[in-house]
Structure 1
Amino acid sequence: MRIRVLGSAAGGGFPQWNCNCPNCDGVRKGTIQAAPRTQSSIAVSNDNINWLLFNASPDILTQFQRFPELQPGRAIRDTAVRGIVLMDAQIDHTTGLFMLREGKTPLNIYCTDMVHEDLTQGNPIFNVLSHFCGVSWHQIPTAVGSTFQVEGIEGIRITAVPLSSKAPPFSPHRHDPHEGDNIGIQLEDLGSSKKLFYAPGLASIEAHLLPFMQQADCLMVDGTCWTNDEMQALGISEKLSLDMGHMPQSGPGGMIEALRSFPEARKILIHINNTNPILREDSAERQILLQEKIDVAFDGMDFSL
């Protein structure tokens, strides 16, 4: 099973268009050791021919151009993408669907009932796409033990795991959370039995997640903020990291502490906010992650399990 990181940043990317925090200002001016990043998405394949896309970021066209395997050129109009799995209905994970509207066949989109509701009512992307290529919706089951597979990606078994977090601000049930608003994903290569646990948004390590994380050969999880008050300290927002549904990395109960419970797995942080000091390759925070054997995802990161 091959995993390609198409984008590794949180919403807004890095640098964010209107942000002059030390990270964004520094990467624009070339005064810090940091690489720009697009908004988070990964692609997965078990044959290097057919690919499954996880989330469709607003940066999707740039991401496709940087990864030619997604455009194999077998016909006048072609793609290697056999399906798109949406982890939630957030703008930074769904807006890229508009950029895929030129196809002659409907987009094969896999998402939960709640995400489907949000994308047909609160932010009716699916309704708009019906006037172009259309959408072939496949329901993601969230009942314990339920799995599914994607046509063309038969060698990978997928399990969706509900996460506790908020639906997007435009959701009809924003203040009434439902199971399926956000999910984590376990991917199992049926040939090698290797497993990836992918959760770019993670508010807490809930008890029902532990078996999936314990089984994982690789944990690719939420890397949004270093501290809970990161945005407040910079004067950018009054919201805490946990308010936004993201575990901070540092401090008691943080992601670093949680990941120590899985010593055998490779650990990778993804969905990194532009304010996070781990973006700076020479930072003290990056050194801490190095000591903890935790990697920081970057655009173009490519590995196999």
Structure 2
Amino acid sequence: MTFRAHILGAAAGGGLPQWNCGCANCNLARSGKIPSQTQSSIAVSADGTSWAVLNASPDIRQQLADVPALHPTGLRALPLSSVLVTNGDIDHVAGLLTLREMQPFMLFATQGIHEVLAANPIFDALNAKVVTRETIALETPFTLAPGLTATLFAVPGKVPLYLEGAEVKTDMMGDQTVGVELLTDETRAYYIPGCALMNDDLRQRLKGADMVFFDGTLWQDDEMVRAGLGQKTGKRMGHMSMSGPDGSIAAFVGMDIGRKIYVHMNNTNPVLRPDSAEKAEAEAAGWIIGQDGMEITS
């Protein structure tokens, strides 16, 4: 079987361009000078026939329409076997409301993430008679799609913005922010769209992987502050930056990973500009800058 990963959306929450943002990247995207990107999601398959979507972005209707492999094969037949969400962030769960059209699929998440969904009655629009909510324990392999085994594991992160209290721990370990190991007979891949830091456990887990889709939110930690778009750093938002001594480019050195792909990139990130020095630097370090529509196989 050939492992296939299709990037449905390469951008972080808000997409590119973000509807209310007049930053350089957003204006370039509006004018068609750089590619627009929808919000964070990938689809994966081991056989090219049955697919799983990882994170249901607010843009999922258009994302599914843009990928012929995910088009309906009959009146109400769809090659979508499951949806898995890696945290409760709005850009990863809001698309579930679009999938309310009485279409059967499995909805996989940890107990903590399912509790977040259950606490908001609007998600009851996903009729329990046709959408089965399956709770997955950490470090427990399960079948995500035919021929594709997944395992969820904790990565450093935080609760969604709308659940933050007076004090926020940005590198907590638990079932609120998870990564996904994806295994076929021949491929070991990982999907980690949100990660606050690279710890020893995560480094050991990822070593030698065939491919890793990883959090690329910001180029530098204070990027949004410098741009005049907010007061939060990447660390405060629970995300590693790409650059710097504690960034992901440095963290992945020597890990012997086949392909490293950045996803979940904020609209301010200069790597989204094809001719930027930052994109060239990331690529020189062996990284692929993910884009909507990109398919990577192994």
Inter-CA distance 124–91: structure 2 relative to 1 (3 Å threshold): farther
Q: In the alignment, which residue of structure 1 is the partner of 2:13? A: 11
Q: In the alignment, which residue of structure 2 is the partner of 1:113? A: 111
Inter-CA distance 45–18: structure 2 relative to 1 (3 Å threshold): same
Inter-CA distance 26–172: structure 2 relative to 1 (3 Å threshold): closer
Q: In the alignment, which residue of structure 2 is the partner of 1:187? A: 182
1:168 Cα deviation (Å)? 1.1
Matched, 1:129 2:129: no
State how far apart, in whole Å, the 2-side matches of 1:135 and 1:169 are.
Answer: 26
Number of matched pairs:
293
Tell me if the contact between 2:40 and 2:264 (Cα under 8 Å) persists in the aligned partners.
Answer: yes
Q: In the alignment, which residue of structure 2 is the partner of 1:148? A: 142
1:96 Cα deviation (Å)? 0.8
State how far apart, in whole Å, the 2-side matches of 1:275 and 1:88 are.
Answer: 22
Q: Counterpart amino acid of 1:120?
A: A
Matched, 1:254 2:247: yes
Q: Counterpart amino acid of 2:39?
A: Q
1:175 Cα deviation (Å)? 4.8
Tell me if the contact between 2:209 and 2:256 (Cα under 8 Å) persists in the aligned partners.
Answer: no
Query: What secondary structure does 1:149 align onto?
Result: strand
State how far apart, in whole Å, the 2-side matches of 1:184 and 1:125 are.
Answer: 26
Unaligned runs of 5+ residues in structure 2 are none
Q: Counterpart amino acid of 2:36?
A: P
Identical residues among aligned pairs (%): 37
Query: What secondary structure does 1:239 align onto?
Result: coil
Q: Counterpart amino acid of 2:174?
A: E
1:300 Cα deviation (Å)? 0.5
Matched, 1:242 2:205: no
State how far apart, in whole Å, the 1-side matches of 2:189 and 2:42 are.
Answer: 12
Unaligned runs of 5+ residues in structure 1 are none
Q: In the alignment, which residue of structure 2 is the partner of 1:93? A: 92
Query: What secondary structure does 2:161 align onto?
Result: coil
TM-score, scaled relative to structure 1:
0.91
Q: Counterpart amino acid of 1:168?
A: P
Matched, 1:162 2:154: yes
Matched, 1:25 2:22: no
State how far apart, in whole Å, the 1-side matches of 2:183 and 2:134 are.
Answer: 19
Q: In the alignment, which residue of structure 2 is the partner of 1:139? A: 135
**Structure 1 stretch displaced more, 180-189 or 161-170:** 161-170
Tell me if the contact between 2:103 and 2:131 (Cα under 8 Å) persists in the aligned partners.
Answer: no
State how far apart, in whole Å, the 1-side matches of 2:283 and 2:129 are.
Answer: 45
1:76 Cα deviation (Å)? 1.4
1:236 Cα deviation (Å)? 0.6
Q: In the alignment, which residue of structure 2 is the partner of 1:286? A: 279
Tell me if the contact between 2:221 and 2:233 (Cα under 8 Å) persists in the aligned partners.
Answer: yes
Q: Counterpart amino acid of 2:290?
A: A
Query: What secondary structure does 2:42 align onto?
Result: strand
Residue by residue over 1:257-288, the C-alpha shift from the partner in whole angstroms, topping out at 9 and shown as x without a partner, is: 01213234211100010000000010110110
State how far apart, in whole Å, the 2-side matches of 1:137 and 1:276 are.
Answer: 35
